[in-house]
Amino acid sequence: MACLAATLGLVIFSGIMDLSAANKDPCDLYALVGQNLTLPFVFEGLGVHELRWTHNTKIIFRGQQGRVSHGKAEDISKTGSLFLKNLQFSSAGIYQADVVNPNRTLAKTWNGSLCVMDKVAKPQLTYICVKTSVVILNCNVANPQGLTFSWTVFMDDKTLSETKQTLSISLAQQKVVRSFTCSVANKVSKEKSDTVRPTCESPPPPPLFCLKSQTVLAVLAGVAGLILLLLVIIITLCCRNRRIKTQMRRRDQKGLRMPFLNKLEPNISPVYETMHQTEDAPTVSQTSLLKDCCENVTQPEAQTENKPAQLSADAEGQKPSPVPKPRTKGLKTLNI
């Protein structure tokens, strides 16, 4: 039993030591990039002693009684401290100082781990309203790993205990809407955001259309093409309609002209049509006139006086022939 208890005690002690070693800060010193730093080593009365500085086991300074074999004399103080100028990330590491007696024994030693860090960026404080009664604050910063966050409430200038990157506040429990700031810090620098006063209102109605710019351009191009097609169709129909109207107008004008020409032709009697079957054949009246004319030329003058009586008798025995009406179209006149 005693052996078992001792074993358990050793295991517990080893676990505690491992936990403490894990929680131990790996860096003894912190410095900002570009900063100057003096390593805290003091040895009074260097005199004949030899001073040696190493960086990650590499000798960076070695001197004795004013004689320097490595490094520069101005990088060492009178007490043996090392001046580091314009630190870079490559300057990080383990530094060690050794003071050696003239008999080559070690008089004093010091070592420390240096970590070089960059300056933190200024955070941006944003918030989101949830159901108009709860606001979620977010402290946005680049590379948040290893940073410490803190929150400050203005009006009472109180620093909250919250150390997370986000903060949730109930507006219903606050009589007055307060302003907030967040701060981020590392081992060598600290930055604070601008002051933000959250105001939560009713959310606006969602937009009717949520389309990408490419989709909008495609839709506009399609609409433009459709409008152009409609214009072409409308112009084509208008031209066709105009052509049809022009043809109908010409047909109506021709139909109105034909009755007018028919009115110009006189009404010819059937008797006249039967009497004039051929245009070149002489008529009965024309034949009788020619005969009378010939008789008047051959007979003596004595018979001329009896002719009117004879003609009148013949005229009384014959009925007068109807007077033909002249044709207006295709009628040839007879020259006697």
CATH of the domain at 167: 2.60.40
How many structural domains are present in the chain?
Answer: 2
Asked if 168 and 183 sit in the same domain, the reply is yes
Q: Last residue of a domain, which of 177, 192, 207? A: 192
Name the strand (E) or helix (H) holding 39: strand 37-39
- pLDDT tens digits for 31-71? 999 999 999 899 988 888 999 999 999 999 999 888 899 89
| Torsion sign (Cα): 309, 310, 311, 313 | positive
Identify the residue whose tokens are 């490595």. Answer: 70
- For the cut 60, the answer to whether the pLDDT of residue 335 exceeds it is no
Q: Containing domain of residue 133, as a range?
A: 124-192
Specify whether 52 is located in the same domain as 102: yes
Q: Pick from 192, 211, 237: which residue ends a domain?
A: 192
User: Using only C-alpha atoms, what is the Rg of the chain?
Assistant: 67
Domain-embedded: residue 102: yes
- The answer to whether residue 239 sits within a structural domain is no
- DSSP lists the bridge partners of residue 186 as none
Dihedral sign (CA 255, 256, 257, 262): positive
Query: How many residues are there in the chain?
Result: 336
Do residues 150 and 171 both lie within one domain? yes
pLDDT at 276 over 70: no
State the average pLDDT over residues 94-120.
Answer: 93
Least confident of 182-191, 222-231, 300-309: 300-309
CATH number of the domain where residue 76 is located: 2.60.40.10
DSSP 182-198: EEEE-SS-EEEPPPB--
pLDDT range class, residue 90, cuts 50, 70, 90: very high
Residue 281 lies in a domain: no
Residue 80 lies in a domain: yes
Q: Does some domain include residue 215?
A: no
Could you write out the DSSP letters of every residue in 89-112?
GGG-EEEEEEEE-TTS-EEEEEEE
Q: What is the pLDDT of residue 198?
A: 85
Q: Do the domain assignments include residue 39?
A: yes
pTM of the model: 0.49
Do 74 and 135 have their domain in common? Answer: no
Please tell me whether residues 156 and 132 are part of one structural domain.
yes
Domain boundary among the residues 146, 163, 192 is at 192
Is 43 within a domain?
yes
Residue 34 in any domain: the answer is yes
> Which pLDDT does position 204 carry in this prediction?
55
* Alpha helix segments (H runs only) across 197-330: 213-264, 270-275, 284-298, 301-304, 307-317
Question: Is residue 148 domain-shared with residue 81, that is, in the same domain?
Answer: no
The answer to whether 80 and 44 are in contact (CB under 8 A) is: no
Q: Are residues 33 and 106 in the same domain?
A: yes
Q: Six-digit token pair at 34? A: 């570009």
Tell me the mean pLDDT in the region 220-227. 90
